[in-house]
Structure 1
Amino acid sequence: MTIGSDTWNERYQSGDTPWDKGTYTPALLEVLAKQVIPAEAEVLVPGCGYGHDAAAIAQAGYPTTGMDIAESAVKGARLAHQGVDGLDFVQEDLFDPTLSEEKRYGAIWEHTCYCAILPEQRPDYVRAVANLLENDGIFAGIFFINTEMPEGEGPPFETSVEEVHQRFSDRFELLWEKSPDATFPTREGCEWLMVWRKKS
């Protein structure tokens, strides 16, 4: 079972997008300020939605691709950020194994994609992002550790720091992690910031 593109399209078309705050996540500024992303890296943002994070990364000087499975999200992102240099949006399925045969990236930024997929898809997510990264590529992101929803319900589906460690440690080396310095007001104490490097 998966949550398909039709479901996400319907939610964007109906405006049922509570995860979209109309701007990039404040934690992204912390990542950019620490220069976590290598200067020469091309960046992928999976599950980009309306592309606010992708646009902010591109405006910081990184060639950036926002990817989403929902056609409505991609159309909205292109319209909202059409004037941003070095930014592209594509409608693709992150779990398509042929994507990594076409292109790999120097960095991936995760925000509200991991928590949107079904928990049983998480091993496939780790495999997909690892395959889409170059060796020693950087995977940075925000993980939802407290959704305040009943256990097992979502999206967003809750995770834990320990679970993320367990899932990513075979393919990635943890560089650092912390509670983000800034969050949206509705997400205080709910997020955990991590930066990993893909193992060669």
Structure 2
Amino acid sequence: SFIDPHPPLTPPQFYYDRYIAADLPMPVVGDWAPSFAGPERGLDINASVLSLDEATMRYARAAYYGMINHIDDQVGRLLNYLRDRKLLEQTFILFTSDHGEMLGDHNMFRKTFAYEASARIPFLARAPRPMELPSETVCNAPVGLQDIMPTFLELAGVPIPETVTGESLLPLMRGDESSWRSVLQGEHAGCYQYEDGVHFLVSREAKYI
């Protein structure tokens, strides 16, 4: 498990240098967001709503991109290790994260929020060839972290408890979306403050917050 990409934004220098001079996209800021803008509060490591000058924002985004690149290279090393030892085609791989990062979108940082930068995460699966599943497919069905455990239980031939709210991803990977959920519900309390809980519903086409 990698804790990065996660504050503090401190990638290895090599990866930071790769992105600091790049033409990176700047944050997406909605026309409603200025109400969240205010004095810089960067000295507070837990600040989640803040405004940064353009140069500082570029530093932050370059560091975050560098951290992602660093992790990507480490995952590549792991895959090469499995391949070199003839284990890759005996291994089911699922790569994901517990949350994203606002990274300045709508003048926000960190997680918690239901907006795409925070709530939409990478979710990549690679099945070994003997499973004969379709390759290089993209699925737009709403899936979540609760679907990981039942997926691995089915792979291991272990019954999925009735109390589990998630579903095995294997039908989706086989191309069968007929019985899959149409809407996914999510929730999170801002920095675990129950009075600031965020709830949202997401489908293939829309999100309701």
Query: How high is the TM-score relative to the length of structure 1?
Result: 0.27
Q: Which has the higher helix share?
A: 2
TM-score (norm 2): 0.26
